[in-house]
Amino acid sequence: MNSPELSSLQRVLTCLENKEPDRVPFFLLCTMHGARELNLSVREYFSKPEYVVEGQLRLRDKYRHDCFYAFFYAPVEVEAWGAEVIFFDDGPPNSGEPFIRRFEDVKKLQPPDVRNSACLVKVLTAIAQLKEKGGPAVPIIGVVMSPFSIPIMQMGFDNYFELIYHHPMALERLMQVNTSFCIEWANAQLEAGATAICYFDPVASGSIVPKDIYLQTGFPIARQTLSKINGPTATLLASAPCKSILPELVQTGTAVVGVSAFEDLAEVKAAADGRLTVLGNLNGIEMSHWTPAQAEEMVKAAIAKAGPGGGFILSDNHGEIPWQVSDGVLLAVSEAVHKWGRYPLDWIDR
């Protein structure tokens, strides 16, 4: 017998308790697709919070998924520091030239004022409007870049890794400034109406830095930062593997971990052992080439691996659906979740 129909928020909360809700919750973390719905360029779409709100409302109505995603684009944060943002017609906006050009610049670096930064205020306005128009039944996901990972956009890969290994005092100063900004930015989104915060931290992955470096740097930074965010958090490593640092992620206090497409969902869920809800792990790049039938098979396989017992949210493996993924594939993903994700999952051979 199927469970009674729950709201999206109830469904997600039940899942987070490692219980089986009425069906597997799923997040289609679409950002740019809202521009397509409104027949706008990506640049124009992100120019007004009203466009993003309307895009998110239409996308959720179309795909029947379980959240509003208040994420504009990753470099919106460095834009607040005065950095350049480069827009594309068929992909996410990227950061331009790093604004920290010398290690000495870190000494005088000051965080931007979140509530007086035009680009960040647009995001906060969008969250407030989604809360007003979407109601309390749908989770609103806010996003921050971790203090440990945002330096990639602030100063570039090469300079940042030199800083990590050879300039400990400058690294400490940069982490202090970034942590202060991250906490203020996350809490401003929660105050505007966000339900939870996605904490993007790709540099934490063992595929980016050795674990011993992470234990000395990104791990204590995450624990400090997340402890001061006034709401639940999900940690996403933006397609990078998470399994090697799962015990540390548990200790940061995060509630959800994003699983890479290069990892086995069942193995990660078993390793999490109920301490973290797993989210993932449809391959967003490959998704752009799927047929609807392939989309159904991939969804079905993911549910079979991680769905039993709850504690699983179906999503992509990165935290942003590529522009090139078609409406037909996303509709197929939605149909498959509604078909195969109903609890109890009696069709799985256990």
pLDDT digits (tens, 9 = 90+) for 320-345: 999 999 999 999 999 999 999 999 99
Q: SS3 of 50, please? A: helix
pLDDT digits (tens, 9 = 90+) for 48-85: 999 999 999 999 999 999 999 999 999 999 999 999 99
pLDDT digits (tens, 9 = 90+) for 115-170: 999 999 999 999 999 999 998 999 999 999 999 999 999 999 999 999 999 999 99
Q: Is the pLDDT of residue 307 over 70?
A: yes
Residues whose CB is less than 8 angstroms from the CB of residue 349 and which lie 6 or more positions away in sequence, other chains included: none
Residues whose CB is less than 8 angstroms from the CB of residue 142 and which lie 6 or more positions away in sequence, other chains included: 70, 71, 123, 127, 186, 189, 190, 192, 194, 196, 197, 198
Read off the pLDDT of each residue in 187-215 and give the average, rounded to a whole number: 97
C-alpha to C-alpha distance for 161 and 268, rounded to whole angstroms: 28
What's the pTM value of the predicted model, to 2 decimals?
0.96
- pLDDT-derived band at 4, boundaries 50, 70, 90: confident
Q: Is the pLDDT of residue 43 over 90?
A: yes
List the structure tokens of 16: 């987070």
**Contact indicator for 182, 80 with CB cutoff of 8 Å:** no
Average pLDDT value for the chain: 96
pLDDT digits (tens, 9 = 90+) for 226-239: 999 999 999 999 99
Read off the pLDDT of each residue in 238-264 and give the average, rounded to a whole number: 97
Q: What is the CATH number of domain 8-340?
A: 3.20.20.210
Read off the pLDDT of each residue in 257-270 and give the average, rounded to a whole number: 97
Q: Could you give the residue ranges of the DSSP H alpha helices within the chain? A: 8-16, 33-38, 42-45, 49-63, 76-79, 118-134, 151-155, 157-166, 168-192, 211-216, 218-227, 246-252, 265-272, 284-287, 292-306, 327-340
pLDDT digits (tens, 9 = 90+) for 12-22: 999 999 999 99
Q: Report pLDDT for 127.
A: 98
Residues whose CB is less than 8 angstroms from the CB of residue 289 and which lie 6 or more positions away in sequence, other chains included: none
Q: Is the pLDDT of residue 349 over 90?
A: no
Q: Report pLDDT for 310.
A: 97
Beta bridge partners of 258: 279
